[in-house]
């Protein structure tokens, strides 16, 4: 009865600005995402519209609503993103953007995820361990003569090389550099295509169309070579050989779309996560000292084996806690496929439902001192997939979760044994809705001398985490 009564009332939310309607709320979400999300929740509750009188975009906050939205993919669909439908589907770019798990729902999503799952089974991910270690070792060697680095840029370069190597099996250094640059240019240009999706010379969209054609040609040639030589040492090879009980396989267009989406999802987000972890450790000297003690005791300066990585409990807690504070995605969006009830309010068909990993992870009823970096909480804390969801939850949970976790553990275990990183004093560090550090994280590089101390930093980082005063 309470649900029926509540659904008769308008969804609460801020007044809309003249002419802007919900667009005003979206603008605030992009300009100051984290304070805006918290303000909405504190002021209006668990179900909030971005503008009074409209239900185009509605926010659903908290684990109960996360469960309602993410456990019912038929009603709250991930596919059909309006930003993707702007692009011509007969272009290489249109196919890249539409042929992936993030844009699929229903039986097609279930079939494709089932076909892709073997590429991310534990045994298959273990095969990528050597590539992760050797590429990390190359990066650490390049720091020997460095005194200052932009940690985020270094992590971007490393995760890009790991992604290219493990996804496509590229061994030649020149080819790795070429493909990596092509993928990086492609993803950077994509961010600007949404505002002006017109094929006019000089526009980001025109550039993306050309880059996507070059990338697609490379992928088609790679697929043909792998089929001819029966290669099986990388993700793309595993996807090529994947088949279900009926013998169904992935087409070339589907292989290309999935491989590109895996690169986009895994490269940038892992680089962001590693960057934030290294910054948080630098700001918490005691945690860093205890983590290095764990690494020394287990590894004694050696490169970690997979078995050893699984035994490093504090390293695991550090990663989990950083992903809680800085989840790879701050928000997600699902689209109501039909009229429905959400948290006691009636939603029309087509409503964009915004859920927030960031907001969920800051709820004090779930996490004591939610703005503090406390890795040891995970020694005794357990949370459901809808209370802790750095990789989303439900059927669309990130398929590369185990891959990303293994990669972060390898990089951190090797890096921290060799170097101590210290922020440039009073560096300004902020972030975006994408959780990307802006403009980066400048840090001094020292041999690991265990002289841990906190160096103050500035920026909106202080709105996201409570840093020690000294």
Q: Look at the chain and count its residues.
A: 470
In 298-396, where do the E strands start and end?
A: 332-336, 340-342, 345-347, 352-355
* Residue of 233, 216, 278 whose CA lies nearest to 90: 216
Strand partners, 53: none
Q: Specify the 3-state DSSP secondary structure of 37.
A: helix
Assign residue 235 a region (left: φ > 0; alpha: ψ between -120 and 50; beta: otherwise): alpha
d(CA 148, CA 440): 13
Q: Is 398 annotated as a binding residue?
A: yes
d(CA 283, CA 98): 41
54-41-56 Cα angle (round to 5): 20
Structure tokens at 202: 């000089």
Place of tokens 């990789």: 391
Task: Starting at the earlier edge strand, list the strands of the sheet with 57-60.
Answer: 47-49, 57-60, 352-355, 332-336, 76-77
Place of tokens 């020149």: 174
End-to-end CA distance of the chain: 54
Burial of 178 (0-12, 13-18, 19+ CB in 10 A): middle
Number of alpha carbons in the 13 Å side-chain half-sphere of residue 295: 26
d(CA 46, CA 355): 10
Measuring CA to CA, how many Å separate 326 from each of 104, 192, 425? 26, 24, 22
- What are the contacts of 21-29 at 24+ separation with CB within 8 A? 21/51, 21/54, 21/56, 22/49, 22/50, 22/51, 22/54, 22/56, 22/57, 24/50, 24/51, 25/50, 25/51, 25/57, 26/50, 26/57, 29/331, 29/433
Place of tokens 């700001």: 283
Strand partners, 347: 340
Q: Which residues are known binding-site members? A: 398
Q: Which residues are known binding-site members for heme? A: 398
């Amino acid at each position: 009865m309470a649900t029926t009564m509540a659904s008769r009332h308008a969804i609460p939310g801020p007044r809309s600005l003249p002419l802007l309607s919900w667009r005003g709320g979206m603008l605030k979400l992009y300009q100051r995402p984290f304070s805006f999300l918290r303000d909405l929740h504190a002021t209006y509750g668990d179900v909030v519209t971005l503008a009074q009188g409209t239900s185009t975009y509605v926010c659903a906050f908290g684990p109960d609503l996360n469960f309602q939205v993410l456990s019912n993919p038929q009603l709250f669909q991930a596919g059909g993103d309006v930003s993707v439908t702007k692009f011509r589907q007969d272009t290489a770019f249109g196919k890249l953007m539409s042929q992936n798990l993030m844009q699929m729902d229903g039986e097609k999503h279930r079939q494709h995820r089932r076909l892709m799952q073997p590429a991310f089974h534990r045994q298959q991910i273990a095969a990528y361990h050597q590539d992760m270690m050797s590429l990390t070792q190359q990066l650490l060697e390049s720091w020997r003569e460095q005194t200052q680095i932009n940690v985020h840029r270094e992590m971007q370069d490393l995760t890009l090389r790991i992604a290219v190597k493990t996804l496509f099996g590229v061994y030649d250094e020149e080819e790795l550099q070429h493909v990596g640059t092509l993928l990086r240019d492609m993803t950077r240009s994509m961010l600007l295509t949404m505002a002006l999706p017109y094929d006019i010379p000089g526009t980001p969209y025109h550039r993306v169309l050309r880059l996507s054609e070059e990338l697609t040609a490379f992928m088609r040639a790679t697929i043909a070579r792998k089929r001819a030589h029966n290669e099986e040492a990388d993700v793309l090879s595993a996807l090529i050989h994947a088949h279900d009980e009926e013998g169904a396989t992935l087409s070339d267009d589907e292989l290309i779309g999935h491989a590109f989406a895996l690169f986009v999802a895994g490269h940038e987000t892992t680089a962001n996560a590693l960057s934030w972890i290294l910054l948080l450790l630098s700001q918490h000297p005691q945690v860093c000292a205890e983590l290095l003690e764990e690494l020394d005791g287990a590894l004694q300066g050696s490169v970690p084996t997979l078995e050893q990585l699984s035994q490093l409990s504090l390293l695991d807690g550090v990663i989990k806690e950083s992903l809680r504070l800085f989840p790879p995605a701050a928000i997600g969006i699902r689209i109501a496929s039909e009229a429905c009830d959400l948290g006691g309010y009636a939603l029309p068909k087509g409503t964009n439902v915004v859920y927030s990993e960031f907001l969920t992870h800051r709820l004090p009823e779930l996490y004591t001192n939610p703005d503090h970096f406390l890795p040891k909480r995970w020694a005794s804390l357990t949370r459901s997939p809808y209370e802790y969801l750095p990789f989303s939850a439900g059927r669309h949970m990130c398929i590369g979760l185990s891959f990303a976790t293994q990669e972060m553990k390898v990089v951190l275990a090797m890096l921290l044994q060799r170097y101590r990183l210290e922020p440039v004093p009073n560096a300004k560090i902020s972030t975006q809705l994408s959780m990307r550090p802006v403009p980066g994280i400048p840090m001094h590089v020292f041999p690991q001398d265990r002289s841990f101390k906190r160096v103050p930093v500035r920026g909106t980082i202080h709105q996201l985490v409570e840093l020690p005063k000294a």
